[in-house]
Amino acid sequence: MAKKELSFEKSLERLEEIVDLLESGDYPLEKSLSLFEEGVGLVKQCNSKLEAVEKSVKILVNKDGELEEKDFTADEQ
């Protein structure tokens, strides 16, 4: 059975938990590796969601007094 995908916010929360657990150094190597693999999966999931949102975000640009809708790119900050 496929694992239910977490929301972006829940994924970030779990990722923070994993980082804290790994930084504590209280887990054996095998458990640490398992946590690390879970974290890598969460990072990929979050990146995928961010890319999808970025594609859908539009910005408005003032050009000669007219508003023009334009695709958002990460370079434009």
Domain extent listing, the chain = 8-71
Does this model's pTM top 0.75?
no
- Is 35 in contact with 27 (CB distance < 8 Å)? yes
The pLDDT tens digits of the residues spanning 25-62 come to 999 999 999 999 999 999 999 999 998 888 877 776 77
Q: Say what the pLDDT of residue 67 is.
A: 75
Taking the C-alpha atoms of residue 47 and residue 32, their distance in angstroms, rounded to an integer, is 22
In single-letter form, the type of residue at position 33 comes to L
CATH architecture, domain 8-71? Orthogonal Bundle (1.10)
The C-alpha atoms of residue 38 and residue 30 are separated, in whole angstroms, by: 12
Q: Where are the alpha helices (H) located in 1-77, listed in sequence order? A: 8-24, 29-56
Share of the chain above pLDDT 70, in %: 88
